[in-house]
Amino acid sequence: MPRIRLPIRLTAPFTNEDDRALLDRFVDERDETAFAALVGRHARMVYGVCKRAVRDEHLAEDAFQAVFLVLARNPAGMAASASVGGWLFGIARRVGLAARRHEERQLRRRATVRSPVNGESNFDDLLQVLDEELARLPEDYRAPLIACFLEERTQDEAAKHLGWSLSTLRRRLDHGKELLRGRLTRRGATLAGGLFAGVFAPSVRATVPSHLLGMTVEPSTLAKTFAAEVTCGVAGMKLAFATMALAAITGLVLAFAGGDKSAPPDGPTTQVHRDISPAPRAVERTPWVTISGRVVFPQERDIPPLQLVPRGAVKDADFFGQPIVGDVLIDPRTRGIANAMVWLRPDCDDRKPAFPTDRVHPKLAVVKPQDHHVFASPGGFTPRVVAARAGDRVIYGNETPIAFSVKSDRVDVNANPVGKSGDFNVLLPRGQSYTTEPLPPLRICDVVRDSIHPWVNGYVWAFDHPYFAVTDANGNFTIPNAPAGTWRLMIWHEKSGYRNGAAGKFGERITISGDGTMNLGSVVHASGGWND
């Protein structure tokens, strides 16, 4: 295979671009200079996390290599994360744990025990506890702590790279510190507010060994093993990916081999040349991806108890008993939230964007109207939340011994077709049913109530596309055949409203890519509405 030489600028080429823009450049264009800039921004933090996970410096170096191998292998895998730094921290933690397991196996074989070095073991243990608890924080609160303390960014820099306003960053940073302090206290470690920077200092001051930044360094076998273990057991990474990633690490010279963070971006430029193999062709991605995940209740909040309707307020008590107000149903094991609505919308700030018809999967492009059955039951309307496509109908039925009054108040008045009203109020005795008109696209949901039993509510959403889902009892959702590309992920719940409050009305940007599937993991439904 022929070798080529590429000039690499040692001054930061993308000083004004945030992490997300650099990542997009690397994903779309396989731009190694963008990759090098990302490495230059985050290497000290990554190396510090890896170094705290193990005592052996060589293992820490292997783990460091593995983290950036994972990024090079699957850069689109972190698209759903709030920050590149936060995602790299999580990968570094997982790689570090894999390295620690390897180290412990080696120690058991040699029947030796790691001894404290210069009395530093207690402090090292504290740093490991910090990493563990930091990793458990919700991403919105973990990301600013990583940016401001582990990476020593100013608040202005952190806000820019995270894509937040300065006030949002400060609010989440303060709340994150309180959450972390509370978690440390429960584990017997306490930190005053001014000690955060001092405790994290060993991480940000960690110097990446210069030989890791060499121009021709090859990844170790252990680095490949750790990277493969983190990427869900993929057996062995192709050497081409490893060569590309570590060649890009040469850009670390910018940050560690004489580069000055305070140097002006338009200062003198030095060039070096290095031999690399031609960049491999990008892995072919399918244009249709099934995305999945779990909507979870915020970790820092106590799960609210089930609310019971006061006995004196229960009509038809012989049938209902003492019913619950079913608006907040959370699995205590997984913290998954039931009956949350999840859907995609175009990546724009238009309040009423139409979903592009040419981005709908061919099998789903032809609309086949369906009927959705909702039944009156002792637990209220079942299902409680209906997700439909425009043109579908809802059939309300009653097989119980008591009568229900089904009343719909269409909140989205702009969705009413000319000459037809979305409102209805019908009495449903036993054995009766009512079928709605075909649903128009709804910008917000229809609310359905039982005027006889006021704790019985239901909700209907209708979309002009097929990319929506309602979470199950464990908070899980799946949206099949979603179009690859950049979209907005929307999450709504009847109690708390949109994820992230009012800002969530436009959703959170998400890049969908993969080889047919993409798991978003746990998506925290953070909202002030839980307080109401």
User: Residues 85-123: pLDDT tens digits?
Assistant: 888 888 888 888 888 888 888 887 766 544 444 444 454
Closest CA to 42 of 71, 10, 76: 71
List the structure tokens of 310. 């006061």
C-alpha distances (whole Å) from 400 to each of 286, 384, 449 are: 48, 17, 17
369: pLDDT strictly greater than 80? yes
CB 392 within 8 A of CB 461: no
List the structure tokens of 452. 């006889």
List the structure tokens of 173. 């940073």
pLDDT at 299: 87
Mean pLDDT for 240-247 is 41
Other beta carbons within 10 angstroms of residue 340's beta carbon come to 26
Torsion of Cα atoms, 195 then 197 then 202 then 206, to 10°:
180
* 248 vs 527, residue with greater confidence: 527
Q: What is the residue extent of each domain of the chain?
A: 4-114+121-276, 288-531
Mean pLDDT for 71-75 is 77
Mean pLDDT for 195-207 is 51
Closest CA to 93 of 45, 153, 143: 45
415: pLDDT strictly greater than 70? no
pLDDT digits (tens, 9 = 90+) for 449-492: 898 888 888 999 999 999 999 999 889 999 999 999 999 999 99
Mean pLDDT for 332-340 is 91
Banded model confidence at residue 392, pLDDT cuts 50, 70, 90 = very high
pLDDT at 259: 38
* 480 vs 221, residue with greater confidence: 480
Quick one: DSSP state of residue 279? P
pLDDT at 391: 92
pLDDT at 360: 93
pLDDT at 421: 44
Phi first, then psi, for residue 436 (nearest 5°) are -75, 170
d(CA 58, CA 64): 10
* 422 vs 504, residue with greater confidence: 504
pLDDT at 22: 81
C-alpha distances (whole Å) from 497 to each of 343, 388, 500 are: 14, 19, 9
pLDDT at 287: 86
CB 66 within 8 A of CB 95: yes
Percentage of the residues of the chain whose pLDDT score is greater than 90: 19
pLDDT digits (tens, 9 = 90+) for 268-323: 333 333 332 333 434 444 689 999 999 999 988 888 887 787 777 778 887 777 77
Quick one: DSSP state of residue 351? S
d(CA 413, CA 420): 11
pLDDT digits (tens, 9 = 90+) for 162-189: 878 888 888 888 888 888 887 777 766 5
DSSP, residue by residue, 447-505: EEEESSSTT-EEEEEEESSS-EEE--TTSEEEEEEEESEEEEEEEEETTTEETTGGGGG
pLDDT at 279: 38
Closest CA to 62 of 229, 205, 278: 229
| E runs forming strands in 195-298 | 271-276, 288-296
pLDDT at 483: 93
CB 499 within 8 A of CB 368: no
List the structure tokens of 281. 């062709």
pLDDT at 213: 53
Top CATH class of 288-531 equals mainly beta
pLDDT digits (tens, 9 = 90+) for 123-136: 456 677 788 888 88
